[in-house]
Amino acid sequence: MSRFFHAKGDSDSDTESSEDEVEEQKVNKSAKFRDDLDFMAGPEDDEKRVVRAQKDKKFDELKGIIKQNRDAKCNKDLNRLLTGFDSLVKAYDKSKTIFQRQNVTIPRFYIRSLVEIEDYVNKLWEDKDAKASLSKNNAKALPPLRQKLKRYIKEQSFQDLVTDYRANPDEDGYETPEDEDDDDIEEVSEAKVEKSPGKPVGKAADSESDSDSDDDSSSWTTEPDTDESDDEDSVTKMEQLRRYFLKKEFREESKDDKRVKRKREIKVKEVVEDDDDADWTPVSKEKSVVHFDPKEEVTHDVMIKKLNEVMSARGKRTTDRNQHVANLQKLLEVSGEKDLGLGIHVKISFCIISALFELNAKISDYMEYETFMNTLATVNNLLDLLIGTDRVKLSVTYAEEDENLKDENEDYRIQGSILIAVQRLDGELAKILQNADCHSNDYIEKLRAEKDMCLLIEKAERYVELRNHLKIFDKHEVCKVYMMRIEHTYYKYQDQNEGDAGQTMDYLCKKIYSLDDEKRLRQRAMLCHVYFLAVHDQWHRARDLLLMSHMQAIVDHSDIDTQILYNRTICQLGLCAFRHGFIREAHQGLSEIQNTQRAKELLAQAVGTRQHEKTAEQEKIDRSRQVPYHMHINVELMECVYLICSMLLEIPHMASCEFEMRRRMLSRSFHYQLKQSEKASLTGPPENTREHVVAASKAMLNGDWRKCKEYIVNDKMNQKVWNLFHNAEQVKGMVVRRIQEESLRTYLLTYSTVYATVSLKKLASLFDLSKKDVHSIISKMIIQEELSATLDEPTDCLIMHRVEPSRLQMLALNLSDKLQALAENNEQILEPRTGRGGYQGPGSWFPGRNERQGDKQKGAGGFQGERRGGQGQDGKRGNWGSQGGQQRRHPNKQRAF
């Protein structure tokens, strides 16, 4: 029996009570009901007991599950949300009987929970990027959650209730308790009671109850809940007890008072705003500190004091950054009116530039475009002022005590660096372009600022050359200025004045070669120079410059940005080799990127899709390293060029190895595409560039060069590939010529066992080549021992020599292949997981064995490149194919392409 419910006399001894209640609380039978109310109102350490209806218990259970579901939504844990939805449905099904017994309709908060889950799931289902970023478990839980929710709403006929809630989400259309917790509501009500003056706590509680509560409460007693199937009358009495002791009416009145108070406040505000007779003076949030006494003369000392006062508020949390910039601009205006000299003018201007950069609270955030243009104009004006006069020395080497802002007889000395401001402004432009939508007109509008940025960098370079004799610049700052101009020039193709552009690039790179001591800028300048030469089709010069720099051996130890630039340079050099007709060199360069299947990620043109393997901080760093869209290399063009090179190299090789058991693959990705095409049950006409190259490869393998040409050179390929070259007609002519030559070689290697003699005139007419070219191609094949035949000049025929391997030779070759595979498997088992070299046998110390092992590793250069390139966001890449591996082992030995 609870101490709160008992009669005044001793007649309550006949009342039944449960054993648990007797053990938990012992009641003084002689206490009165009024004393109990006072005891309940006063602070005590004893635990209070509240009689609650079963309906409220079920409501609390449902609300607890709904709260867990909301937490799961916030954490994007769909697996937990699916489990919570099942628990919510089961809990509601168990509560139906109690709701029907007490005439309670479907709770509104339950419908709201279903609507929230449905909106969340539908939004996530339509967002493809969000679905792609889900983990494996969450992606697996999303479809069943969506189906279960849709089926449950349909089976329970909740469509009308859901529609009604979506139309009026704030209206109380169902019988349901408030969504706020009871504890919070009681705290609010008790706080109001305590604030009422002149009433004690207990009396305040009594005054809010009904007038006849004293008489009725003395006779009310509580019975233990021993049976769940009580009568409706007992349930009604318990509900009355609950409402009385929880003071539901008191809380409702408090909410009504809140609403009335809010309405009164709104009316008072409307009256104040409509009062036009009163003279109001608008006051800003932050008072401007820039004001001078009208009676005081503004001198250098007064201006410097005021500038220090304004700058003292810099960086404080309460400082309005925009107001801070406005204050500095006001000081600059006053200094111009009072003609205080160049020293103070330059000092305030440099402070304004610093304040504009600090408008962003976070360094990682990009600057707004309008703020960027304002900063660009301010830096441009200050740079014009510094170029126009040699009396102002702006340098970071000066201390604040050594500054001279007012003495006109000496040179003005100011602490700061305009070159660092230009460098930071260039970085902000890169951030703006990275965060802009590259497929919209907004990107084009923002890209126009690059022209102004290039002019500013050229002006800064001219300022350095004019004032470099004063020794006010740091060597690293000067190198940065030259490097900024190189980075804005190296990727652009200039059709006109190519000689002038080449001379400018040579001049800038030589400056960095002579000034840089840290070698990082020297490496980047070297790579930019090679990239520039490759873009302008200076293949031999670009190749020699890359080989002489030994960049393949040291790039793995460079920073990530340099490795990304190295990847871009290698790809551009491969495209240059293709334009010149060097198919093998082009394939060798492009294979390092294409074999990894992560070309965009290695070129910093996209972020990896494996989101669960990276933290948020790593992903943020990767996004900051992305190259702006206008500097991207066309990955589809690069893939098409790589596949064409693979076709021209691999198809004759496949024809020559038809009767050999050991066939070495030159391009695994190309063979993969061929196998996928062969597995297809129905092969339709080619649609994309990859399918065009695969269809052309099949035609070349059959010796049909005309069909191969139609697949490679057509209107669709012109739009996607060939028109992107600046010398498209020359490149297409070169490709057609190579297709004819390789088709001839493939034809001879494939049908060498069928023909005894072949007429050169017939071959020339079949492949649309001159007799001289056919004779040259066949002679090279005979010299390189690719074709076992002789040329008979009197008859002008090619005589084939049938040299087929015997059965014993075929079995010997098969046995050697199996032994080699077994040896490789043993080496892989013995090789540790750390990537070190495995066991090489007892003869591994001999030079011959070492060379053979090196050739074996060199032959698998694609795997080495993939292993090095597989380091994710580092952007690391391997060397230039097999030649790069030799360059790493023998740095002093050069090898021509």
The pLDDT, as a whole number, for residue 31 is 42
The pLDDT, as a whole number, for residue 662 is 47
How many CA atoms does the CB half-sphere of 542 hold within 13 Å? Answer: 26
The pLDDT, as a whole number, for residue 257 is 53
The pLDDT, as a whole number, for residue 461 is 93
759 sits in which H/E element: strand 757-759
594/599 Cα distance (integer angstroms): 6
Confidence band for 844, pLDDT divided at 50, 70 and 90: very low
Q: What is the mean pLDDT of residues 381-397?
A: 90
The pLDDT, as a whole number, for residue 509 is 93
Confidence band for 578, pLDDT divided at 50, 70 and 90: very high
> Which residues are within 8 A (CB) of 269 and not within 5 positions of it... i.e. 6 or more apart?
none
Under 8 Å between Cβ of 870 and 842: no
More reliable by pLDDT, 501 or 765 = 765
Q: What confidence tens digit (pLDDT) does each residue in 258-275 have?
A: 555 555 555 444 444 444
What average pLDDT does the structure give for the chain? 75
Q: What confidence tens digit (pLDDT) does each residue in 593-645 have?
A: 888 888 888 999 988 766 557 788 888 888 889 999 999 999 999 999 999 99
Under 8 Å between Cβ of 599 and 635: yes
246 vs 47, 50, 182, CA distance in Å?
A: 15, 8, 9
Q: What is the mean pLDDT of residues 848-861?
A: 38
3-state secondary structure at position 752 = coil
Give percent above pLDDT 70 in the chain.
70
Which of 157-171, 446-460, 549-563 shows the lowest per-residue confidence on average (mean pLDDT)? 157-171
Q: What confidence tens digit (pLDDT) does each residue in 707-739 have?
A: 999 999 999 899 889 999 988 999 999 999 999
The pLDDT, as a whole number, for residue 428 is 92
Under 8 Å between Cβ of 480 and 474: no
Q: Nearest to residue 702, comparing CAs of 643, 654, 644, 760?
A: 654
Under 8 Å between Cβ of 446 and 436: yes
Q: What is the mean pLDDT of residues 694-705?
A: 89
Q: What angle do CA 729, 734, 735 make, to 5 degrees?
A: 100
The pLDDT, as a whole number, for residue 274 is 42
Residue 861: pLDDT over 70: no
The pLDDT, as a whole number, for residue 499 is 57
841: left (phi over 0), alpha (psi -120 to 50) or beta: left
More reliable by pLDDT, 567 or 179 = 567
The pLDDT, as a whole number, for residue 750 is 84
The pLDDT, as a whole number, for residue 574 is 93
The pLDDT, as a whole number, for residue 803 is 67
Q: What confidence tens digit (pLDDT) does each residue in 282-324 have?
A: 444 444 556 677 777 888 888 998 898 898 888 888 888 888 8
Under 8 Å between Cβ of 476 and 441: no
What letter would DSSP give residue 414?
A: E
Highest mean pLDDT among 86-100, 360-374, 540-554, 801-815: 540-554
Q: Tell me the backbone φ, ψ of residue 173, rounded to 5 degrees.
A: -95, 0
The pLDDT, as a whole number, for residue 631 is 93
Residue 45: pLDDT over 80: no
The pLDDT, as a whole number, for residue 405 is 87
The pLDDT, as a whole number, for residue 736 is 93
Q: Tell me the backbone φ, ψ of residue 395, rounded to 5 degrees.
A: -150, 150
Measured on CA atoms in the order 729, 735, 738, 744, is the torsion positive or negative? negative
Q: What confidence tens digit (pLDDT) does each residue in 637-681 have?
A: 999 999 999 999 988 888 876 545 445 677 778 888 888 888 877
Confidence band for 172, pLDDT divided at 50, 70 and 90: very low
Q: Which class in CATH covers the domain with range 635-654+668-800?
A: mainly alpha
851/595 Cα distance (integer angstroms): 25
> Which residues are within 8 A (CB) of 379 and not within 5 positions of it... i.e. 6 or more apart?
353, 418, 421, 422, 425, 456
Residue 188: pLDDT over 90: no
Radius of gyration of the chain (CA): 42
More reliable by pLDDT, 170 or 278 = 170
Task: List the chain domain ranges.
Answer: 10-49+182-224+231-255, 54-167, 289-488, 500-609+860-897, 635-654+668-800
Q: Which class in CATH covers the domain with range 289-488?
A: mainly alpha
Residue 485: pLDDT over 70: yes
Give percent above pLDDT 90 in the chain.
26
| Cβ neighbours, 10 Å, residue 816 | 12
> Can you give the pTM of this predicted structure?
0.60
3-state secondary structure at position 757 = strand
The pLDDT, as a whole number, for residue 779 is 92
Confidence band for 560, pLDDT divided at 50, 70 and 90: very high
